Amino acid sequence: MTRRLTIEQYVKGIRLQDKFVLSRAITLIESDLTSDNLLASQLIELLLPHTGKAIRVGVTGVPGVGKSTFIEAFGKLITEIGKKLAVLAIDPTSQRTRGSIMGDKTRMDELGRDKLAFIRPSPAGSSLGGVSRKTRETMLLCEAAGYEVILIETVGVGQSETAVHSMVDFFLLLMLAGAGDELQGIKKGIMEMADAVAINKADEDNEKKAHLAKVEYQSALHLFPPNENHWYSEVLTCSALKKTGLKEIWNLINDYQALTKSNGWFYKKRQAQNKAWMHEVIKAQLESQFYNNPQVKKILKEKEYKVENNEIHAVNAAMELLSIKI
């Protein structure tokens, strides 16, 4: 087997919805080799006209809230209505904690065997910016391969949900009832980003508590200023384990899509996301060029030392370094 396919082979395979070629193209995107990056960018450019048709949904929530279980059950519901589904997982904590991605593999067993589904975890260990860049590109490849729904799982503990929010159409926050009332470490900002909140594990003894939490969160959400898109974030309850309340979430996503497509917000948001993405790449590129410049490398330590010891003003040191031609 050759290490890389030709660009034509990638394009053809993806357009023919070949999962094997799609996987290999994603591996190309995830590669850190400059030559691979070049090929990956050309590939995306060629496939761009075939992207953008999926509904992109982000799913976040604290570890253990049930994201993977939810995605497996919700995913089955989507494929049962005949839609092709791609699941991408961003987990910046997987290296440090208990390797949720390995766990996901076992928990998404059924979905993994589903012909209409494609599951791809993000590589562990990449920097956050890298993960989000690669996830975006992976999402575009999946769209070009005909996937109609993209679910992106991310752990709600840090910046990763902001990154995911910047690449999806609909952002779903999973929460638990009564697990330490003060929003379980979920920052207010994340709640504000959510287009819907689902109280998961609304089953057995927990059902009543979940309904109470729903009312509580609904009133908390009402304190936020109304959205520009005229969408009112909803709170629902569900059980990923018992597979209840899932259809309602799917219906809600469809309602959201219908509303925001009719008022134009859907397209405006995607335009803004693309523009922000470009600026993100520019900033990342400038920063990397700057810090990798041999002259900068040579004098950076010395400047740091002088700034630490108040020998030079931090701003002047920065300006001096920035005056080096990169």
Binding-site ranges for ligand GTP (CB under 6 A): 61, 63-69, 100, 103, 107, 155, 200-201, 203, 239-241
CB of 43 to ligand GTP, least distance (A): 30
Which of Mg ion, ligand GTP, none is residue 66 near (CB under 5 to 8 Å by kind)?
Answer: ligand GTP
CB of 132 to ligand GTP, least distance (A): 17
Return d(Cα 92, Cα 131) in angstroms, integer.
8
CB of 68 to ligand GTP, least distance (A): 3
The residue whose Cβ lies closest to ligand GTP is 66
**Paired strand residues for 236:** 198
Q: Are strands 117-121 and 85-90 parallel, antiparallel or unpaired?
A: parallel
Which of Mg ion, ligand GTP, none is residue 155 near (CB under 5 to 8 Å by kind)?
Answer: ligand GTP
CB of 94 to ligand GTP, least distance (A): 8
Return d(Cα 317, Cα 305) in angstroms, integer.
11
Give every CB contact of residue 214 below 8 A, 6+ residues apart in sequence: 199, 235, 236, 237
Give every CB contact of residue 293 below 8 A, 6+ residues apart in sequence: 324, 326
Which of Mg ion, ligand GTP, none is residue 65 near (CB under 5 to 8 Å by kind)?
Answer: ligand GTP
End-to-end Cα spacing for the chain:
40
Which of Mg ion, ligand GTP, none is residue 200 near (CB under 5 to 8 Å by kind)?
Answer: ligand GTP
CB of 235 to ligand GTP, least distance (A): 16
Measured from the CB atom, is 67 or 214 closer to Mg ion? 67
Distance of CA 308 to the CA centre of its chain: 38
> Alpha-carbon torsion 139, 170, 192, 274, what sign?
positive
Dihedral pair phi/psi, residue 50, rounded to 5°: -100, 10
Residue whose entry in the numeric block shows the structure tokens 């330590």: 301
Measured from the CB atom, is 157 or 252 closer to ligand GTP? 157
Residue among 76, 51, 71, 46 nearest 61 (CA): 71
**Paired strand residues for 154:** 60, 90
Return d(Cα 46, Cα 187) in angstroms, integer.
39
**Paired strand residues for 172:** 59, 196
CB of 239 to ligand GTP, least distance (A): 4
Whether 236 and 197 have beta carbons less than 8 Å apart is answered as yes
Which of Mg ion, ligand GTP, none is residue 131 near (CB under 5 to 8 Å by kind)?
Answer: none
Which of ligand GTP, Mg ion, none is residue 61 near (CB under 5 to 8 Å by kind)?
Answer: ligand GTP
CB of 231 to ligand GTP, least distance (A): 25
CB of 205 to ligand GTP, least distance (A): 9
The residue whose Cβ lies closest to Mg ion is 68
Measured from the CB atom, is 67 or 136 closer to Mg ion? 67
Measured from the CB atom, is 28 or 163 closer to Mg ion? 163
Instruction: Using CB under 5 A, list all residues that contact Mg ion.
Output: 67-68, 100
- Cβ atoms within 10 A of the Cβ of 205, count? 7
Measured from the CB atom, is 40 or 90 closer to Mg ion? 90
Measured from the CB atom, is 56 or 67 closer to Mg ion? 67
Q: Are strands 149-155 and 85-90 parallel, antiparallel or unpaired?
A: parallel
Measured from the CB atom, is 67 or 201 closer to Mg ion? 67
